[in-house]
Amino acid sequence: AQSVTQLDSHVSVSEGTPVLLRCNYSSSYSPSLFWYVQHPNKGLQLLLKYTSAATLVKGINGFEAEFKKSETSFHLTKPSAHMSDAAEYFCVVSGPPGGGNKLTFGTGTQLKVEL
Amino acid sequence: DGGITQSPKYLFRKEGQNVTLSCEQNLNHDAMYWYRQDPGQGLRLIYYSQIVNDFQKGDIAEGYSVSREKKESFPLTVTSAQKNPTAFYLCASSIGEGTSFYEQYFGPGTRLTVT
């Protein structure tokens, strides 16, 4: 079975400082990994995805993530936080092959950006 | 514009009543999904469908039913058998399963309150 653990439920940063949202995963196969963002009372928007190509993945809005197989991690980073980045972020792992393209979601990290 | 629409945005029902949530997509995607979101629990899969006239139970299907009569539409019925129906419901779609995993695209969600 696959699983994903988001190590922090809340992260608070100052505007202009770096962002680090941590994610570890577990799977018995080579997974695809995703980060999604959700603003209050909205649907989820894809930030970036890893699908076994380059291990450093660049996404929208200046976010990037690095796939580290040896550490089973897929942490999300951004060099400089903006107020508009305040939202909830979900790390997601793909389901097993042949399982219908299902995804398993982490419990989310709430990012707060302060002036 | 291509996308996923969910209606209504807010829905209020009395306990004991069935209620149907609408989900429509014009992305020409084969697969569609229903998730439930509760605070601090991430997203949990209720039902999914990979093709018209076929669907499978997800992790928390009890008390819910779906149909997939058209490629574009995947309505979810929350029945009176669902013990705790108050939640935020999200519909998603994807190309389907191929040689790699495809990201899912999400609708804006429906917030259901049952009293």
B36 and B60 in contact (C-beta within 8 Å)? yes
> Residue A85: what are its φ and ψ, rounded to 5°?
-80, -10
Q: Find the closest chain B residue to A109 by CA distance.
A: B40
Rounded-to-integer distance, Cα B98 and Cα A114, Å: 42
Q: How far is CA A70 from CA A25, A48, A73, in A?
A: 11, 21, 8
Among partner residues B97, B100, B105, which is closest to A100 by beta-carbon distance? B97
* Partner A contacted by B11 (CB < 8 A): no
Taken in order A33, A38, A44, A48, is the CA torsion positive or negative? negative
Q: pLDDT tens for residues B51-62?
A: 999 999 999 999
Q: Which of B84, B76, B114, B98 is nearest to B31 (CA)?
A: B98
Among partner residues A34, A42, A101, which is closest to B31 by beta-carbon distance? A101
Q: How confident is the model at residue B100 (pLDDT cuts 50, 70, 90)?
A: low
CB contact under 8 A, A103 and B106: no
Q: pLDDT tens for residues B66-91?
A: 999 999 999 999 999 999 999 999 99
Q: pLDDT tens for residues A50-106?
A: 987 789 999 999 999 999 999 999 999 999 999 999 999 999 998 877 777 789 999
* Partner A contacted by B100 (CB < 8 A): yes
Which positions in chain B touch A52 (Cβ < 8 Å)?
Answer: 100
CB-based burial, B62-72: b 16+ in 10 Å, e otherwise: eebbbebeebb
DSSP A111: E
**SS3 sequence, B48-83?**
EEEECCEEEECCCCCCEEECCCECCECCEEECCCCC
* Partner B contacted by A74 (CB < 8 A): no
Question: How far is the alpha carbon of B115 from chain A, nearest alpha carbon, in Å?
Answer: 20
* Partner A contacted by B18 (CB < 8 A): no
* Partner B contacted by A100 (CB < 8 A): yes
Q: pLDDT tens for residues A13-37?
A: 999 999 999 999 999 888 899 999 9
Among partner residues B41, B44, B50, which is closest to A100 by beta-carbon distance? B50
Q: Find the closest chain A residue to B99 by CA distance.
A: A97
Q: How far is CA A21 from CA A32, A65, B112, in A?
A: 18, 9, 30
B32 and B23 in contact (C-beta within 8 Å)? yes
